[in-house]
Amino acid sequence: MSGMTGAGGATETLLQMIELFADPKAAKARVVELQEAAKKAEATIADAAARERNAHSSEHAARVQRDELTAAIAVHNADVARFVAQRDQTNAALTAREGAIVTRERELEELAKTVRSEAAMKTKELQGREAAVTQRENNAEGRDTDLQRREEHINRRESALQRAFAEP
């Protein structure tokens, strides 16, 4: 009869209760057994409730951590966006500066060519002047030499004339 359900199951439970009350020692032992089982069940329920509270606390802590992590990720993403913007701005400034440097280098190269060309022309001009000065110096030396020879010639003639007039 132990497998019966419904009205048959109730009958079986009644029969078991009658047997229990027929033997007071067995009934008392059964009551103690049931009390211990109830205490174990209460402890199990309390343990399950504590685990459930711990699970809720852990779940809440996990939500808080998730929210903090989400906020940290948002701050990080904002920092990354700022860094990218600053990097792009710096790269643009460097590109512009490189362009200005290239332009200035071209200008300086053109200026250097002009200066070299002018320096070469001035050098040629100075060399021409130097050659003219050297020529004038040579001409002057030649004239000086001619003048010296003439002076010596005049001095010899004078000496010869003085000797010629002094001999009578």
118-130 pLDDT per residue, tens = 999 999 999 999 9
Is 18 or 85 the better-scoring residue by pLDDT? Answer: 85
Residues 52 and 85 in one domain: no
Three-state secondary structure along the chain? CCCCCCHHHHHHHHHHHHHHHHCHHHHHHHHHHHHHHHHHHHHHHHHHHHHHHHHHHHHHHHHHHHHHHHHHHHHHHHHHHHHHHHHHHHHHHHHHHHHHHHHHHHHHHHHHHHHHHHHHHHHHHHHHHHHHHHHHHHHHHHHHHHHHHHHHHHHHHHHHHHHHHHCC
Domain that holds residue 146: 81-168
Global pTM reads: 0.42
Over 90: is that where the pLDDT of 19 sits? no
68 occurs within a structural domain = no
Q: Is residue 73 in a domain?
A: no
Mean pLDDT of the chain: 87
Q: What percent of the chain has pLDDT over 90?
A: 59
